[in-house]
Amino acid sequence: MVTGDFLNRLCEALAREPGSITLDDTPETIPEWDSVGHLAILATIDSALGLATDSEEMRNFTSIRQLVELLKTKGALED
Amino acid sequence: MGAQIRAIAYCLPDHVETNEDLQRENPDWQMDRLYEKSGIGSRHIAAPDETASDLAFRAAQRLFEKPGVVPEEIDSLIFCTQSPDHYLPSAACVLQDRLRLGKHVGAFDFNLGCSGYVYGLYMAKCFVECGQARSVLLLAADTYSKYIHPRDRTVRTLFGDGASATLVGRSDAPGLGEFVLGTDGSGAKNLIVPSGCLRLPRSPATAVEATDNSGCTRSQDTLFMDGAAIFTFAITVVPRTIQALLTKANLKPEDVDWYVYHQANKFMLEHLAQKSRVPRDRMVLSMEDVGNVVSASIPIAVQRYVEAGKIRAGHKILMVGFGVGYSWGACLATWR
């Protein structure tokens, strides 16, 4: 999946306007990214990419950039 | 000869704690947003002097009032709880006496959480089918509220207290079918009350409170849940378990009339159903006014759907419990 599509899936999961999430975002910049929002992101990783979030690094990311880089190393995302 | 669920009753504490109550008490909590995801609007909370065994007692009394329930035929009493009255004796022994059951009754507690009802049904089926018991009284009750710090949003908004009583008896008709059980103790740390037993007795040190980055306060004396880890565990294990059970029973997903997941929260259940391709109209959702009632959540949900005329005679239901341990179990039953 291309990164832009994935970010739009995150927008959908967090009930935000399409295109409103960027690599620079963190829980501090996205009000919807609280503990419940974090579960919505995990669910999106599972449903959109089919990836298990069964490791600490796959669950405990603290920025969109960190998440996207991690998913790229796993071959789940491309530019 | 097989075993069958003959009747279910349940009991909820009188006191109700609504989302509005929690919002007033905690102005920084976004209860509307939490409700949208969790599907939980209120929960019943046990009184300070009311224990899980009290709730189980009342649930059993209600069960005994149902037609066809003969307490004299009960040969085993098994009580699933993680909120026991004492280290010892087993609450099941005390309940045998309170319920005036015969002294021939074998009674014991077992310690499991959200998977516990399925394990209880498994034991009850085994007891009945091997001839050890004519009927088994399976009680499931918990009062997690007594473990929850009032400022821990992650658990206080989800869990409620309650109890169920189920009678499992002999049957020549189809009843309890196949089971799949599983355990992964590596997840124990992710849903735990760290202190209070012998590994870490309560002390002034364990009572020290800390507030995490999300503003939730707890101590080692209170319930801790790593929500992300539990969610990951559930979405990984539950679909596989359901698939394994269907394969074992040689059934297709559409052969099941009702999927009764442990009623953790709406968001998780909807994601699980989507992963397992369970039609939305075959998924039982019954947590809005009770919350996550731990081991009693599945029987309460089943009984409410029975009372609503949704689960009917001959329906095939798939029950799946999962949580603390990690522990999980799934089984099939044909409703009487």
Q: Each residue of B231-267: pLDDT tens digit?
A: 999 999 999 999 999 999 999 999 999 999 999 999 9
Per-residue CA distances from B130 to B125, B126, B248 (Å): 8, 6, 21
Chain B residues whose beta carbon lies within 8 Å of the beta carbon of residue A35: 153-154, 214, 227-228
Cβ within 8 Å, pair B271-A35? no
Chain A residues whose beta carbon lies within 8 Å of the beta carbon of residue B267: 36, 39-40, 43
pLDDT of residue A76: 83
Instruction: Using CA coordinates, name the residue in chain A closest to B228.
Output: A39
Residue A35, pLDDT > 90, answer no
Q: Does A23 touch chain B (CB under 8 A)?
A: no
pLDDT of residue B71: 96
Query: Cα B31 vs. chain centroid, distance in angstroms?
Result: 24
Q: Which residue matches tokens 């400022």?
A: B151
Of residues B247, B167, B214, the one with CA closest to residue B4? B167
Chain B residues whose beta carbon lies within 8 Å of the beta carbon of residue A45: none
Chain A residues whose beta carbon lies within 8 Å of the beta carbon of residue B184: none
Q: Does A72 touch chain B (CB under 8 A)?
A: no
Cβ within 8 Å, pair B232-A42? yes
Domains of chain A: 3-73 (1.10.1200.10)
Q: Which residue matches tokens 């007033």?
A: B24
Question: H-type helices in chain B, by residue range?
Answer: 19-25, 31-38, 52-64, 91-98, 116-129, 153-156, 227-248, 266-275, 297-307
Buried (b) or exposed (e) across B136-152, using 16+ Cβ within 10 A?
bbbbbbbbbbbbbbebb
Per-residue CA distances from B71 to B9, B74, B196, B217, B289 (Å): 14, 5, 35, 45, 30
pLDDT of residue A50: 87
Which is higher by pLDDT, B11 or A55?
B11
Q: Is 0.90 surpassed by the pTM of this model?
A: yes
pLDDT of residue B254: 93
Its ipTM equals 0.86
CATH class of B2-172: alpha beta
Chain B residues within 8 angstroms (CB to CB) of chain A? 30, 33-34, 37-38, 153-154, 214, 227-229, 231-233, 235-236, 267-268, 271, 274-275
pLDDT of residue B38: 93
Cβ within 8 Å, pair A60-B236? no
Chain A residues whose beta carbon lies within 8 Å of the beta carbon of residue B30: 34
Q: Report helix, strand or coil for A15.
A: coil
Chain B residues whose beta carbon lies within 8 Å of the beta carbon of residue A36: 33-34, 37-38, 267
Which is higher by pLDDT, B66 or A74?
B66
Of residues B289, B304, B262, B305, the one with CA closest to residue B119? B262
CA separation for the pair B143, B316 (Å, rounded): 30
Kind and range of the H or E element at B78? Answer: strand B74-80
How many of the other CB atoms lie within 10 Å of CB of A51? Answer: 17
Buried (b) or exposed (e) across B201-210, using 16+ Cβ within 10 A?
eeeeeeeeee
CA separation for the pair B29, B36 (Å, rounded): 13
pLDDT of residue B206: 98
Residue A32, pLDDT > 90, answer no
pLDDT of residue B284: 97
CA separation for the pair B134, B109 (Å, rounded): 19
pLDDT of residue A56: 81
Cβ within 8 Å, pair B228-A40? no
Contact B178/B248 with Cβ under 8 angstroms? yes
Cβ within 8 Å, pair A46-B271? yes
Residues of B serving a catalytic function are 114, 262, 292
Contact B80/B115 with Cβ under 8 angstroms? no
Give the residues of chain B that fall short of pLDDT 50. none
Q: Which of B232, B238, B269, B274 is the best mutation test for A, with the most CBs of A within 10 A?
A: B232
Cβ within 8 Å, pair B236-A52? yes
Which is higher by pLDDT, B45 or A38?
B45
Instruction: Using CA coordinates, name the residue in chain B closest to A38.
Output: B228
Nearest to A39 among B153, B228, B236 (CB): B228
Contact B157/B38 with Cβ under 8 angstroms? yes
DSSP state of B173: S
Of residues B291, B157, B325, B150, the one with CA closest to residue B221? B150
Residue A31, pLDDT > 90, answer no
State how far residue B190 is from chain A, nearest Cα, in angstroms: 12
pLDDT of residue B290: 98
Q: Does domain B178-334 have CATH number 3.40.47.10?
A: yes
Tokens, residue B40: 């939980």
CA separation for the pair B38, B292 (Å, rounded): 10
Query: A79 falls in which pLDDT band (50, 70, 90)?
Result: confident
pLDDT of residue B287: 96
Contact B249/B317 with Cβ under 8 angstroms? no
pLDDT of residue B322: 98
Contact B278/B253 with Cβ under 8 angstroms? yes
Q: Does A55 touch chain B (CB under 8 A)?
A: no
CA separation for the pair B117, B81 (Å, rounded): 10
CA separation for the pair B210, B213 (Å, rounded): 10
Query: A58 falls in which pLDDT band (50, 70, 90)?
Result: confident
Tokens, residue B132: 């050890």
User: What's the half-sphere exposure (Cβ side, CA atoms, 13 Å) at B126?
Assistant: 8
Query: A52 falls in which pLDDT band (50, 70, 90)?
Result: confident
Residue B23: Cβ-neighbour burial (10 angstroms; 0-12, 13-18, 19+): middle
Cβ within 8 Å, pair A35-B227? yes
Query: Cα B282 vs. chain centroid, distance in angstroms?
Result: 20
Domain with CATH 3.40.47.10 in chain B: 2-172, 178-334
pLDDT of residue B101: 98
Instruction: State the DSSP string of B47-74.
Output: -TT--HHHHHHHHHHHHHTSTT--GGGE
